Structure 1
Amino acid sequence: EDNLYFYCDLLLNSSDDDFGDNESISTSDTCCTGRVCMTETAAELEAVFIPVLYSLALIVGLLGNGLVLAVLCQLRRSWSITDTFILHLLVADTLLLFTLPFWAAEIAQGWSFGTPLCKLMGAIFKVNFYCGIFLLTCISLDRYLSIVHAVQMYSRGKSWKVHASCLGVWLICLLLSIPDWIFLQQLEDERSKTVKCTYNYLAYKTSVKDWQEASRWLYHIVGFIIPSIIMVFCYSSILLRLFRGSQGFKKQRAIRVILVLVLAFFICWTPYNITLIVDTLHANRTLNETCESTIILELLLSATAALGYIHCCLNPILYAFVGGRFRHHLLQMLNSMHLESRDALCICSEQTSFSLKKKCVCF
């Protein structure tokens, strides 16, 4: 993850931006050198708490996303445009869930899965984040044009447009994950004596600071700031139109689910992105850096990243409590499953001439 850096001496102790083969690296008792000792207790607590949290998120997320997928399959003949986007959100969340055991193992005992899996898991994290916010942005634009301007960006008769948009989103997300494929490596930190999956910006003997800042600001601007501005504008316009009473209750209820999903996304991911922006400014010395601020940022990045990971198991819960249509079909599906299992445990007697009805005993 971005909060794991093993080249802090390079960034703190060198006066140059570029580091060549003959560059001397200071090993004095800097903030980074002491950080390992000062956060040892926090690291031990993290090694216990985070794996348990990720395990619970994995179980709840797989069960919840499985139920959503079952309901969507049941409703496949009457899918709305939003349902198609939700299906792709479901795929992105499920992919992220499968990476949680790897991150939990890394926190507990270090990364032992090799560089290829390190690149893959890091790329899946980035693709999921980008995909989630881009798909929510597409839904926001569709709802904005439909409600505010009465323009249908997608039509039921041309569902291929929706799938083409989702495919385009996936391709863009894959392109944005290229830095992870290039720089993520399995590396050993000599100070903490642990192996981590982290970014090696020295791999190509170029400017550490330039590569780090470029990848960070790409993540901040393209992956969070621009989509956030678009969604805030779209939903502000939608809410103003709805409050004026120009739309019916059905449309107001339909927009409620999407609005809750967007709010949940921002609640879960905004703390991580704000902390990451502060850490970016801290790393390039825009903000004053001290040992205390470095330690606090490291802990905050770990905690807010965990909050972001938990988001992938929240959507099914939100569907169940906010989406009336989803809740209705889920209860209907569970009720039919209950009746089928009950009928399977019933023993009925054969119909005779003395009895017009079968007699059944259910267990």
Structure 2
Amino acid sequence: MPTAASPLPLSTTGSENSSSIYDYDYLDDVTILVCKKDEVLSFGRVFLPVVYSLIFVLGLAGNLLLLVVLLCSVPRRRVIELYLLNLAASNLLFVVTMPFWAVSVAWHWVFGSFLCKVMSTLYSINFYCGIFFITCMSLDKYLEIVHAQPLHRPKTRFRNLLLIVMVWITALAISVPEMVFVQVQQTSDGVWHCYADFGGHATVWKLYLRFQQNLLGFLLPLWAMLFFYSRIGCALVRLRPPGQGRALRMAAALVIVFFLLWFPYNLTVFLHSLLDLHVFGNCEVSHRLDYMMQVTESLAFFHCCFTPALYAFSSRRFRQYLKAFLSMVLRWHQAPGTAHAPPSSHSESSRVTAQEDVVSMNDLGERQADDSLNKGEMGNN
């Protein structure tokens, strides 16, 4: 669940603002830092619901459009489009949880114990799925361009479908702690919260989960993307295909956007871990890290809004299908009787796409794989 949206159990001291004083962290049942959080909580009650609502609106609209175009307008989906389809579905499930966290931060958890576990599990599963599918798409482009792997072989398609299933299973396995420990609890002042209660070993569990998030949610995917796209860049420089410059800029943009969205948040998570270990820090540092956590986490959540569009529009083929889909919708609104005319538009857009120059990595990968397959058939003949 969102870190900022799930505060630790609140402690009471009998003061007027007791709901704003809570144990920051624990180390084997020994409190290591107790800080008053009035300003932090007040900032979060205003900032987070606004950001979560914006993420919900943008993410729902963008990913729903992507999902509809891929399901309705693409006659035969390639592997990269299967990954996009799963990425869009994962992002939709992720943004569906945002209104629940917005209400929880602005007020308190009013949705009951069952939805607490469901929303927390959905959040965790699709948090990792979104990152994993981005990594899978970079692997797919690497295999197509660098190794000129054929796109349409049944064995290749089965392997990628198996990889998609493994991504969902892995994300589900990572989310097991959310299913086990997350629950609704009532504080002494009658406020309900949905959070993970690890009992007397909260610090150990939180350090483990933060390390897992830094490693699986950032470091390994970033390393994989740097490796795959650097090899793709070397192949583009060596082959010098048409549109080489655009493809190189797109590869750089994909890595840079991933880094800019996720590095600040993961750095803040790492600093929080050092604070939990009492390596450094006081209440002032704790306050600053809490502000940083809310801002950087919100920035990272925007990946579900920007990343699918970036990957989708890197393909000229997808842009052609999007134009055909939008023109079909416009015709349907203008003259509902002509709504059954899109197949010719789809086939026309496919012919136009096939005749255009290679200007993106997706198009280059398809051309590379098809050329390799054709050469193999000519050799056999």
TM-score range (shorter-chain normalised) is: 0.7 to 0.9
Matches within 5 A, 1:64-75: 64-75=62-73
The answer as to 2:286 corresponding to 1:294 is: yes
Amino acid at match of 2:211: W
Q: Which runs of 5+ in 2 are unaligned?
A: 11-21, 339-381
The answer as to 2:310 corresponding to 1:318 is: yes
CA separation of 1:130/1:48 partners in 2, compared to 1, >3 Å: closer, same or farther?
Answer: same
Please give the alpha-carbon distance, in whole angstroms, between the structure 2 residues aligned to 1:73 and 1:139: 18
Corresponding residue of 1:199: 196
Please give the alpha-carbon distance, in whole angstroms, between the structure 1 residues aligned to 2:287 and 2:105: 17
> RMSD between aligned alpha carbons?
2.9
Q: Does the CA contact (< 8 Å) of 2:250 and 2:314 recur in 1?
A: yes
Of 198, 204, 220, the residue aligned with 2:214 is: 220
Amino acid at match of 1:226: L
Corresponding residue of 1:6: 9
Please give the alpha-carbon distance, in whole angstroms, between the structure 2 residues aligned to 1:56 and 1:342: 31
Please give the alpha-carbon distance, in whole angstroms, between the structure 1 residues aligned to 2:77 and 2:278: 51
Give how far 1:209 is off: 2.8
CA separation of 1:345/1:130 partners in 2, compared to 1, >3 Å: closer, same or farther?
Answer: closer
Of 265, 274, 288, the residue aligned with 2:267 is: 274
Give how far 1:216 is off: 2.0
Corresponding residue of 2:28: 18
Please give the alpha-carbon distance, in whole angstroms, between the structure 2 residues aligned to 1:200 and 1:183: 6
Amino acid at match of 2:143: L
CA separation of 1:208/1:150 partners in 2, compared to 1, >3 Å: closer, same or farther?
Answer: same
Corresponding residue of 1:36: 37
Q: Which runs of 5+ in 1 are unaligned?
A: 20-24, 347-363
Please give the alpha-carbon distance, in whole angstroms, between the structure 2 residues aligned to 1:60 and 1:297: 27
Q: Does the CA contact (< 8 Å) of 1:319 and 1:326 recur in 2?
A: no
Task: Summarize deviations over 1:236-271 as a string: whole Å, max 9, x none.
Answer: 2221222x2415236775676666445433322222
Please give the alpha-carbon distance, in whole angstroms, between the structure 2 residues aligned to 1:316 and 1:234: 19
Please give the alpha-carbon distance, in whole angstroms, between the structure 2 residues aligned to 1:241 and 1:273: 31
Please give the alpha-carbon distance, in whole angstroms, between the structure 2 residues aligned to 1:167 and 1:258: 26
Partner SS, residue 193 of structure 2: strand
Task: Summarize deviations over 1:7-32 as a string: whole Å, max 9, x none.
Answer: 764846xxxx434xxxxx77xxx852
Corresponding residue of 2:257: 264
CA separation of 1:117/1:260 partners in 2, compared to 1, >3 Å: closer, same or farther?
Answer: farther
Of 257, 282, 285, the residue aligned with 2:278 is: 285
Of 96, 100, 116, the residue aligned with 1:98 is: 96
Please give the alpha-carbon distance, in whole angstroms, between the structure 2 residues aligned to 1:193 and 1:299: 26
Please give the alpha-carbon distance, in whole angstroms, between the structure 1 residues aligned to 2:165 and 2:204: 31
Give how far 1:345 is off: 9.4
Amino acid at match of 1:334: L
Corresponding residue of 2:333: 341
Of 229, 233, 250, the residue aligned with 2:227 is: 233
Matched residues, percent identical? 32
CA separation of 1:71/1:261 partners in 2, compared to 1, >3 Å: closer, same or farther?
Answer: farther
Partner SS, residue 227 of structure 1: helix
Partner SS, residue 187 of structure 1: strand
Please give the alpha-carbon distance, in whole angstroms, between the structure 2 residues aligned to 1:261 and 1:77: 27
TM-score by length of 1: 0.78
CA separation of 1:59/1:70 partners in 2, compared to 1, >3 Å: closer, same or farther?
Answer: same
Q: Does the CA contact (< 8 Å) of 2:184 and 2:194 recur in 1?
A: yes
Deviates most, 1-10 or 85-94: 1-10
Of 320, 331, 340, the residue aligned with 1:328 is: 320
The higher radius of gyration belongs to 1
Amino acid at match of 2:212: L
TM-score by length of 2: 0.75
Amino acid at match of 2:136: C
Partner SS, residue 303 of structure 1: helix
Please give the alpha-carbon distance, in whole angstroms, between the structure 2 residues aligned to 1:64 and 1:125: 18
Of 33, 39, 56, the residue aligned with 1:58 is: 56
Task: Summarize deviations over 1:136-156 as a string: whole Å, max 9, x none.
Answer: 22222222233233345x644
Corresponding residue of 1:133: 131
